[in-house]
Structure 1
Amino acid sequence: MAHTPWQPPPGALDRRRLRHLLDALVAVSADMDTRTVLHRIVEAATVLVAARYGALGVLSENGKVADLITVGIDDPRLCAAMGLPQGHGLLHTLVDDRESLRVADVAGHPRSVGFPSGHPVMQTLMGVPIMVRGTVYGDLYVADKTDGTPFDDDDEDLLTALASAAAVSIENTRLYEHLKHAAEHFQRRMLPTLPDLSPLQAAVRYEPASELPRLGGDWYDGMVLPDGATCVVVGDVTGHDIEAAPVMGQIRNMLRALAFDRCEPPGQVMSRLDRALTMFEDPPTATLVLGRIEHGEDGAYTFSWSNAGHLPPLLVGPDGSTRYLAPARHGIPVGIDPTVSRFSHDHPLPRGSTLLMFTDGLVERRDQDIDTGLGDLAEQAARLADAPLDDLCDALIGRRQQVFDDDVSLLVLRTPDGSAR
């Protein structure tokens, strides 16, 4: 008696196909990177149409193939050796014609050229363009059904649905990147270029938050006052919505005018800022450190500062010693109570010492407390006590491996030590 291989009931097969389709479609809105989403879509395509091979090509914005995601080629060395399609052969027909394509004999097709050495031999092929709102983002194709039958209309409908999901995923990624770039560009334009603060050395960095293309309220500033002292500030306006950045610009400009208008201790300038913020119908709040660096007749430098609810500055000695300048009288953020007393504090800046002022994004992480972050920052700054300031800034930013839960503003100053650095 002949043995008949077991086959799943038709309903079970339909449920399995539906599950793969839904998994691929749900992945588009899931919290995962685009390449993972696209790989799931290719996997679903090969399963749903029972194909041996599947691939998805992504076009760059200039129309060149930027990425190729494959299923069915198990040897990663072969994938690497084949490289990216050059857009001259059969598959580019999908992009040129913007129509689906079914080929019963790949080798016999007039545009069947450009397959690299080692590419799997394919008999049949079906592909569709990845397109949304008239823009082609790539192509999705499968080859050789496992049972040897040709691809049919149902297969094409499934592939078209998956290509639509891929198009949405790619378009969302492009829109996200454009929005993030625009937000970063706007934010950087809001921040000043530091003037020459000689004889002090100075360097600044700004890094946006990694997860969201948002406008933030972090800022830094520096200027030479009429009496020759150097004024520096680092602050953070409360909030990360569309209003935070312009409010930051307003507070920064108000503070510049107040500090430049009168040569007085930082605490008094901060008090005047508190009163000035009452002109807003809904006064904004911000944390900041406002500092004043004076060069005495004896050649010594003194740092005077007032802190409005901000993280303390870090002083790094030329010998690598570190100290956070955190006096007992720690003020509340500005914009809360215009009658609150603001205090100024003084600390000597030894020759060759480095002063770091920063926003909380540099030391805060979701997986650790802020004291740990402050300790890590002090340790690394101590190891780089005599490094050039640009190298120091790059190292401190790089220690977070470019993943920031919040925006980062960093201002670093160094007093002269009599030798060039």
Structure 2
Amino acid sequence: MSYTGTFGQRLGIFFTIEGSVLSAVSVTFILCFALYKWLRRTVRTWGKPVMQPSDASDSSLFLNLMLADLIQAIGNMPNIKWMADAEIMEGPLCTAQAVIKQIGIVGVAMTSLAIAVHTFSILVLRWRAPRHISKFVVVGVWVFTALVIGIPNAVHRNERYYGPTGFWCWIVTEYKVEQIVTEYLWVWFAGLSMAILYTLMFVVMRGWFIIDNGIHWHKNYDSVHHGAAAPETEEDKQSKAIAKMMLFYPAVYIFSFFPNSLARWLFFSGFETPYQFSLFASTVYSLSGMFNLILFFVTRPALVVGPNVTFEETVPLSEALHRKSSSRGTKRLGHLPDIHYDESPEVDIEKRSVGPDFDPRMLTDRNNLTHSPASRYGSLPAPTPPPGRGSTMEYLSVDRNGSYQRSRGSSSLTEEEDYGHLPG
């Protein structure tokens, strides 16, 4: 599998370059678009209180996958020189290609595994992670990658560690242990772990396993004995739908790395693999960034369009109910699901905000007032609203048991409320 500069080998390298260019352009577009959205949102909301829908899957992991794909694609660009010169020369460019390829490949593997674990936690374990956990995971991925690649480089800094290996530059064949430990071990580990995780997710989604106070086979599970599970909310349904879509990204990774992994495994085992197969496997692997872009547009269009910026406002309850009911049929994949209000919501007196929908006629609504002697029980005004939230007074009544009652018609809620952030 050595590079001799024949026309067939150079043509095969050209295909790997094409795949890398397509992936680089694709992921660069996504990263630039994400930066543009962030800048636009920052300018529009500067100094203004805003409420934005939370991304149910937290795009940090996906954007990090795009960044790793970009680094991996850049690592194949020196192949242009090797193809043009019909030979691979040792030197700074060769060393740079080897290091960049390692960083990209390990970064893609670890980020794909992180997405798989994140999806498994949402879909099967129903674990609600802290809000910014994905940011720490991203940092951990790159710290781990730096250690895995940097330590062997420091140990062999005075030796010939990188050089031509087949059709590109990488760790020379004298360091077979380092070849496996610093890259392919983590590629195979990530692929095997994802296969196990998604197999478990499949059997749980099919109902063959039920996780409720332990793991139970479907035939042996007694829901009455263990207690019936809580009814699934609309938020849970949409969270599962988003998690299912996230399955495609690691699936693309497994499809992309398997041919290349097989070719390298045969090479490590002493088999002389045809250069056609090796370059085909490398081309498929180089296209992973473009594959992710296609899935990005197909499965997560809401993230492409970007969340709408909503400024804080206080609206009447009737209008809020109308807006909520009118948006129930809207498909908002990739964002926190809408919360549906009950017709008679429970109101916390201390935390409830006073809205601008006060109607003086409500004070004369005899059906909603509790009458009591003025000598002992009187009307109490609601707590004074904070500045900027309206100054309208709203009246409460106290019954003989000392409990507060509020006119139902005077209830108001803000259009958007913070119901928490889905796992990051």
Task: Name the TM tier (shorter chain).
Answer: under 0.3
TM-score, structure 1 normalization: 0.25
Question: Whose relative contact order is higher, 1 or 2, with alpha carbons under 8 Å and at least 6 apart?
Answer: 2
TM-score, structure 2 normalization: 0.25
* Higher strand proportion (structure 1 or 2): 1
* Higher helix proportion (structure 1 or 2): 2
